[in-house]
Amino acid sequence: MISKKTNRANLESWRIIFLQVGFIASLLICLGLFNWSTPARETKGVMMRISDMEFEEEVIPVTRQERDRPDMNAIMIKREELSKTQGVQTGPGILRIVGDEADITDELQVGDLEGDQNTEVALINPNNVVIFEEEEEEAEEIFFLVEDMPKFNGGDLSEFQKYVQSNLVYPDDAKDNDISGVVLVKFVINKKGELTRLELVRGVHPGLDKEALRVVSSSPKWTPGKQRGMPASVAYTFPIRFVLQDK
């Protein structure tokens, strides 16, 4: 059996209206709450302007303690007592403290400052004074190649090579261990023809190095080299070969 309702009894048709009325009522309530204001409480207090207040400046007096000045007469008496008890002697060259009213009996003797009349004074003749001037050492300029190279026994570097080979003595320890090689040395033939500034550039064995330096350092004088007609110092790098002969 189908139930039937009249249009007045059907509430579905009123649903939209009720929904709109509810929204409007909610909005009105929210607006009323936002506009609701509570009266501010009146705070009772005391306000004071700083400009109306009067400040009294309190001046604190500054007190200075005056130090008692020492009695100079008492100090002098104590110093005299100390000098008597400790046996301090006063004499020429010794400082003695006295008062303002003390009499000074020591007098300067002029005779002490004057020389003896019998003393002979030797006059120095300025012409006989010899002034020694220190010689300034000029920096030696060393060349590696000059117009006239140094000469050894009238020959070139090959002559010096012969001299070295003829004077070499093969060390026994190097010979026993079959050690051979080339020792490189460096030296300078100065303006006087002397062999100077001998250095070991590259060594092989302590015994061989020592023997090479010994023979080179025993070199006699050379004929110095010349550059533009003037004696010049020339540097050399010289190899010395140690070779073992086959047995």
**Paired tokens of 80:** 């005299």
On whether residue 151 sits in a domain, the answer given is yes
When pLDDT is cut at 50, 70 and 90, the band that residue 212 belongs to is very high
194 is in which domain, residue-wise?
142-242
On whether residue 16 sits in a domain, the answer given is no
> What is the average pLDDT across 185-189?
96
> What is the average pLDDT across 78-101?
52
Domains in the chain, number = 1
CA distance 208 to 183: 7
Helix 157-167, helix 206-217: angle, nearest 10? 120
On whether residue 218 sits in a domain, the answer given is yes
User: Is residue 209 scored above 80 in pLDDT?
Assistant: yes
Q: What is the dihedral of CA 147, 149, 154, 159, to 10 degrees?
A: -140
pLDDT single digits (tens) 36-55:
766 655 544 444 454 455 54
User: Is residue 205 scored above 70 in pLDDT?
Assistant: yes
Residue 188 vs residue 132, higher pLDDT: 188
Instruction: Calculate the alpha carbon distances from 200 to 116, 120, 143 in Å.
Output: 69, 64, 19
Q: The domain spanning residue 230 has which CATH number?
A: 3.30.1150
On whether residue 212 sits in a domain, the answer given is yes
> What is the average pLDDT across 59-67?
57
Question: Does residue 97 sit in helix, strand or coil?
Answer: coil
